[in-house]
């Protein structure tokens, strides 16, 4: 009897992308179900009453474990499949990776994604009309500040949280990659961030994200280009 | 040489309260520093560049570990001081506790706190004028839906995530307790939620929260009443 995994996700959801990157890096096979979360599908709400992606279902025979919300899934994967470790080994490394995860999931999402993805993605998916220029500008300004911070971190680090690739890199890359799908990341002005993103983009775990397309949402021409 | 802990927090911040409850339950002594996060104090920004509370500093001789953001702190405390366990013992229990932590930190905070605490607390702290009625109404409507959900969970559970007290209870209680400070929780309409909250309120770890007061922000008369 073998363990089967099904990931219910939306391809352009940053939270879902973090889980896909972590599972890819840990070489865990899974079946995918794309969820139109904004339509609040009944089957999906039964799995996760919050209505939010991602949800991972692990089945083995009759036993079934339903894991809802990105952080619960990531923590579970780390506990059950510890190799390669994506949270660091000691308390200081782990604290730094977790600090940056929350930075991107809370601060970046609120200040950047909440404006740019709302205007460019959610409005399109929900049929809410054209993006508002003032909101795009606010999101782009905040994005620059976050990229300055990423540059500062990378000035003396190989990866965001330190010497090793961690969930902090996946959190940052997941959020930035969706913004990049819509062509809004000014990579040329942030050379360290660009090199870091190139390294991530060329990892096998990243490949599936680069093939994501959603009807009505056309990616920027350089989106899947490894040499952007 | 003994370990010293300093918690930098804002008394009415739900994220800070979760950490205080967990440290209280684990009987970990700590020194407190109250942070006016909205003034972005320089010393505090040096500790946590996101500018957000809470931050826990652990010192032992010359060694110092700075833990930023609630989830990083809670996960660290659970790893380093596992007794009593606040995340459950098996994968299913842990997944359920973590699902609900994210429910309250993301969904509840966005739908309820973002309206009620912004209008009643942040506007006062920032000198932004009177609360807007439409926002208060929207927050109160959302709060009712969340309380219905809490009632449904408690219909066949002792605690929110199952048989044992967990970080899910502390997340919910931390968010609700700040709303309750401002008198906006309609406890009388939600008897199971009320009983659950009474149980929490009478635990030793909850006491410090009930003595919290902030200049210019007067708590509802029943706020610190164990028999509300």
- b/e per residue A33-54 (b: at least 16 CB within 10 A): eebebeeeeeebeebbebebbb
In terms of domains, do B112 and B167 share one? yes
Q: Is a pLDDT exceeding 80 seen at residue A1?
A: no
Interface check for B118 against chain A (CB to CB < 8 A): the answer is: no
Packing angle, helices A167-181 and A91-102, rounded to 10:
20
- Put simply, the answer to whether B91 touches A76 (Cβ < 8 Å) is yes
Q: How far apart are CA A47 and CA A43, in angstroms?
A: 7
Residue B223 in domain: no
Q: What is the pLDDT of residue B89?
A: 87
pLDDT, tens only, A128-167: 999 999 999 999 999 999 999 999 999 999 999 999 999 9
Question: Which of A67, A79, A109 should one mutate to test binding to chain B, selecting the residue with the greatest count of B CBs within 10 A?
Answer: A67
In terms of domains, do A71 and A115 share one? no
In terms of domains, do A113 and A137 share one? yes
- Put simply, the answer to whether B72 touches A99 (Cβ < 8 Å) is yes
- The neighbour count for residue B84, using CB atoms within 10 Å, is 11
In terms of domains, do A66 and A113 share one? no
Residue B224 in domain: no
Provide the pLDDT confidence category of residue A90 given band limits of 50, 70 and 90.
Answer: very high
- Put simply, the answer to whether B75 touches A80 (Cβ < 8 Å) is no
Residue A68, beta-bridge partner list: A55
Cis preceding linkage at A84, omega within 30:
yes
- Put simply, the answer to whether B102 touches A75 (Cβ < 8 Å) is no
Q: How far apart are CA B56 and CA B69, in angstroms?
A: 9
Domain ends where: A14, A47, A80? Answer: A80
Q: What is the pLDDT of residue A51?
A: 96
- What CATH number corresponds to the domain at position A126? 1.20.1050.10
Distance (Å) from the alpha carbon of B195 to chain A's nearest alpha carbon:
23
Residue B219 in domain: no
- Put simply, the answer to whether B102 touches A49 (Cβ < 8 Å) is no
In terms of domains, do A76 and A24 share one? yes
Structural domains counted in chain A:
2
**Among partner residues A72, A94, A102, which is closest to B98 by beta-carbon distance?**
A72
In terms of domains, do A59 and A107 share one? no
Distance (Å) from the alpha carbon of B95 to chain A's nearest alpha carbon:
6
Task: For chain A, give the number of residues.
Answer: 228
Q: Which residue of A has its CA nearest to B63?
A: A92
Q: Which single residue is written with the structure tokens 């973090």?
A: A18
Domain that holds residue B71: 4-80
Question: Which of A59, A71, A172 should one mutate to test binding to chain B, selecting the residue with the greatest count of B CBs within 10 A?
Answer: A71
Q: How far apart are CA A32 and CA A16, in angstroms?
A: 11
Residue B194 in domain: yes
Residue B168 in domain: yes
Q: How far apart are CA B40 and CA B51, in angstroms?
A: 6
In terms of domains, do A161 and A187 share one? yes
Q: How far apart are CA A203 and CA B123, in angstroms?
A: 46
Residue A56, beta-bridge partner list: A7, A67
What's the rounded mean pLDDT across residues A168-174?
A: 98
Q: What is the pLDDT of residue B26?
A: 98
Phi, psi of A219 (to 5 degrees): -75, 155
Phi, psi of A217 (to 5 degrees): -120, 105
In terms of domains, do A173 and A111 share one? yes
Q: Which residue of A has its CA nearest to B79?
A: A91
In terms of domains, do A105 and A178 share one? yes
- SS3 assignment for chain A: CCCEEEEEECCCCHHHHHHHHHHHHCCCCCEEEECCHHHCCHHHHHHCCCCCCCEEEEEECCEEEEEECHHHHHHHHHHHCCCCCCCCCCHHHHHHHHHHHHHHHHHHHHHHHHHHHHHHHHHHHHCCCCCCHHHHHHHHHHHHHHHHHHHHHHCCCCECCECCCCHHHHHHHHHHHHHHHCCCCCHHHCHHHHHHHHHHHCCHHHHHHHCCCECCECCCCCCCCCCC
What percent of chain A is modeled with pLDDT above 90?
98
For the complex shown, is ipTM > 0.85?
yes
Q: Chain B, 87-106: which have a CB under 8 Å from a chain A CB?
A: 91-92, 94-95, 98-99, 101-103, 106
What percent of chain A is modeled with pLDDT above 70?
100
Which DSSP string do the residues of chain B spell out, in sequence order? ---EEEEEE-TT-HHHHHHHHHHHHTT---EEEE--GGG--HHHHHH-TT-PSPEEEEEETTEEEEEESHHHHHHHHHHH--SS-SS-SSHHHHHHHHHHHHIIIIIIIIIIIHHHHIIIIIHHHHT--SPPHHHHHHHHHHHHHHHHHHHHHHTT-SBTTBSS--HHHHHHHHHHHHHHHTT---GGG-HHHHHHHHHHHTSGGGHHHHT--BTTBPPPTTTT-TT-
- Put simply, the answer to whether A71 touches B107 (Cβ < 8 Å) is no
What pTM value is reported for the model?
0.96
From the list A93, A181, A104, the residue with the least C-alpha distance to A147 is A104
Interface check for A27 against chain B (CB to CB < 8 A): the answer is: no
**Contact call for residues A154 and A160 (beta carbons, < 8 A):** yes
Q: How far apart are CA B18 and CA B13, in angstroms?
A: 9
In terms of domains, do A95 and A74 share one? no
Question: Please, which residues have CB within 8 angstroms of residue B140's CB and are 6 or more apart in sequence?
Answer: B116, B184
In terms of domains, do A96 and A65 share one? no
Q: Is a pLDDT exceeding 90 seen at residue A89?
A: no
Interface check for A66 against chain B (CB to CB < 8 A): the answer is: yes
Q: What is the pLDDT along chain B (228 residues), one digit of tens a residue?
A: 789 999 999 999 999 999 999 999 999 999 999 999 999 999 999 999 999 999 999 999 999 999 999 999 999 999 999 999 999 989 999 999 999 999 999 999 999 999 999 999 999 999 999 999 999 999 999 999 999 999 999 999 999 999 999 999 999 999 999 999 999 999 999 999 999 999 999 999 999 999 999 999 999 999 999 988
Provide the pLDDT confidence category of residue A65 given band limits of 50, 70 and 90.
Answer: very high
Residue A145, CB half-sphere, CA atoms under 13 Å: how many?
A: 14
- Put simply, the answer to whether A99 touches B70 (Cβ < 8 Å) is no
Strands A31-34 and A4-9 turn out to be parallel
Residue A26 in domain: yes
- Put simply, the answer to whether A79 touches B94 (Cβ < 8 Å) is yes
- What CATH number corresponds to the domain at position B68? 3.40.30.10
Interface check for B75 against chain A (CB to CB < 8 A): the answer is: yes
In terms of domains, do B152 and B193 share one? yes
Interface check for A79 against chain B (CB to CB < 8 A): the answer is: yes
Residue A72 in domain: yes
pLDDT, tens only, A94-122: 999 999 999 999 999 999 999 999 999 99
Name chain A contacts of B104, Cβ cutoff 8 Å: none
Distance (Å) from the alpha carbon of B223 to chain A's nearest alpha carbon:
29
Q: Which residue of A has its CA nearest to B102?
A: A69
Domain ends where: B51, B80, B109? Answer: B80
**Among partner residues B48, B67, B99, which is closest to A69 by beta-carbon distance?**
B99
Q: How far apart are CA A193 and CA A133, in angstroms?
A: 26
Residue A200 in domain: yes
Q: Is a pLDDT exceeding 80 seen at residue A28?
A: yes
Name chain A contacts of B76, Cβ cutoff 8 Å: 91, 94-95, 98
- The neighbour count for residue B109, using CB atoms within 10 Å, is 17
Domain ends where: A27, A58, A80? Answer: A80
Token output for A83? 């190799």
- Put simply, the answer to whether A107 touches B52 (Cβ < 8 Å) is yes
**Among partner residues A72, A91, A103, which is closest to B102 by beta-carbon distance?**
A72
């Amino acid at each position: 009897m073998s363990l089967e995994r099904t990931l219910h996700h939306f391809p352009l959801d940053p939270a879902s992308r973090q889980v896909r990157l972590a599972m890819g890096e840990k070489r865990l096979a899974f079946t995918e179900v794309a969820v139109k979360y904004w339509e609040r599908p009944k089957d999906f709400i039964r799995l996760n009453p919050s209505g939010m992606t991602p949800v991972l279902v692990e089945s083995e025979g009759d036993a079934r474990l339903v894991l809802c919300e990105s952080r619960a899934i990531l923590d579970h994967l780390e506990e059950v499949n510890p190799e390669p470790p994506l949270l660091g080994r000691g308390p200081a490394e782990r604290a730094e990776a977790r600090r940056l995860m929350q930075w991107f999931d809370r601060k970046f999402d609120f200040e950047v994604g909440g404006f740019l993805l709302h205007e460019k993605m959610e409005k399109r998916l929900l049929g809410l009309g054209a993006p508002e220029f003032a909101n795009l500008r606010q999101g782009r300004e905040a994005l620059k500040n976050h990229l300055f911070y990423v540059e500062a971190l990378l000035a003396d680090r190989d990866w965001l949280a330190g010497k090793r690739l961690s969930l902090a890199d996946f959190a940052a890359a997941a959020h930035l990659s969706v913004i990049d799908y819509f062509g809004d990341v000014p990579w040329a002005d942030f050379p360290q961030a660009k090199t870091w993103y190139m390294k991530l983009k060329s990892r096998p775990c990243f490949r599936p994200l680069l093939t994501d397309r959603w009807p009505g949402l056309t990616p920027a021409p350089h989106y899947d280009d490894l040499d952007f």
